[in-house]
Structure 1
């Protein structure tokens, strides 16, 4: 049986120890994270000193280039480009000339680095399963599901966790006093993305103490369809990880079963 608290601490310790910082020319610092992309390469970021004393944090265009390489061309679809910009903005990140980036003071660097990494991972996951022939992404599908069922949600709610870092939920459904719980919902477009699953558990573990007075329930909606719209099996270890961490996994093919809970 997995221990959620132990897993959370091990995850945080692993993240802290696994970053690499490499000094490059012109004062630029390469930051190599322990998180992997679709090709099992480590996700990198760059810290660039600016004349105004601030630091520019950027993915150097990696995220969009990576999506292009798997056939998801953001710039050819106005809808996808708007979605990308909106979702990046919800993390406090800009999209400029194909880069995910932000400028911050040295004091705000740790939090901004976390926000940029979160944005890179989420955007990469969000578009990963999108067919070339549609502008729709998993986030849109879930949004439409709630709208069609007259469930009022707030998109992109953020909470400052115990560590002082921001943790974002793609959807939230407000509660009411002690009778109706607050429901916080994460999404996984690639339902078998183990690394993203672990980061979601940490988000919940960091957020739960902050919202405990609102009787929270946590959900993660997993896409269990492939590009051909056929149901795929989700790794049982991922499902067990969520359940042991008091997170309800919701397979997209079974979303209708959870309507009563979402409508409370």
Structure 2
């Protein structure tokens, strides 16, 4: 077993060991080890149905955004971002709840998709700040467009585990450079960097198998309004992920435009 395989196995063991179950009426409360911006654990609820299972956040995600001053119903851009996130993970919104259906065979995958959708939607709370004039992801896209970088946005890649992982931009291979994947991290921290590392560890091998053995992943870190802990770039670098501070992005344009 390779070191990377051991690390991936260790991640899934951590995920299993740190997940807690509790019966709440007809529902099973699932407490995951993932933290939101309040440092609260993400909780979802599951219930058996005649034709499978229903997984839901019980309305917590959208209620939290409402209390944070960022209701998704306010503003066309917020609604567009919200719908894009849900569609990317196959999640539906029903009377304020984020829901997804599952069966015995795909339960783990659907649970993963719901949790990832909740984390992505909860990150929209940053749009509540009056100092944020534009979405960081849009700024990154505009920067790439200005340099005529060819890319495919919002790409979902399947990892070795069978789980899907969403990446913001994929720049195809050219005569001068290998395939490059670019992920924008609006709030660089332990959670966001760990999530990206695990996604990359899961998908890197499948990229090699599919003929992209030299694919390079770059993380663009928003240091415009956030101080980046030194541990974030250090952790990313240790897994071969190139880090680009937004304030220093000009230094890396040649690498992405090649």
TM-score if structure 1 supplies the norm length?
Answer: 0.87
In 2: Cα distance, 1:129 partner to 1:75 partner = 13
Question: What residue is the counterpart of 2:23 in the other structure?
Answer: 23
In 2: Cα distance, 1:130 partner to 1:172 partner = 29
In 2: Cα distance, 1:86 partner to 1:126 partner = 12
Pair 1:204 & 2:203 matched: no
CA change 1:80–1:110 in 2 (3 A) is same
Question: What residue is the counterpart of 2:13 in the other structure?
Answer: 13
Larger relative contact order (CA 8 Å, sep ≥ 6): 1
CA change 1:12–1:104 in 2 (3 A) is closer
Q: For residues 178-198 of structure 1, what are the alpha-carbon distances to aligned partners after superposition, in whole Å with 9 as ceiling and x for unaligned?
A: x42111122221112x12211
Equivalent position SS for 1:123: helix
Equivalent position SS for 1:211: helix
Equivalent position SS for 1:151: coil
In 2: Cα distance, 1:148 partner to 1:262 partner = 12
Cα shift at 1:216: 0.1
Counting only pairs closer than 5 Å after superposition, residues 5-154 of structure 1 correspond to structure 2 as 8-26=8-26, 28-51=27-50, 53-128=51-126, 131-132=129-130, 136-154=134-152
Question: What residue is the counterpart of 1:259 in the other structure?
Answer: 253
CA change 1:237–1:133 in 2 (3 A) is closer
In 2: Cα distance, 1:109 partner to 1:135 partner = 39
- Unaligned 5+ segments in structure 2 are none
RMSD: 2.2
Question: What residue is the counterpart of 1:188 in the other structure?
Answer: 185
In 2: Cα distance, 1:50 partner to 1:135 partner = 44
Which of residues 174, 190, 208 is equivalent to 2:172?
174
Q: Is the CA contact (8 Å cut-off) linking 1:8 and 1:202 kept in structure 2?
A: yes
Q: Is the CA contact (8 Å cut-off) linking 2:70 and 2:127 kept in structure 1?
A: no
Cα shift at 1:208: 0.9
TM-score if structure 2 supplies the norm length?
Answer: 0.89
Q: Is the CA contact (8 Å cut-off) linking 1:4 and 1:244 kept in structure 2?
A: no
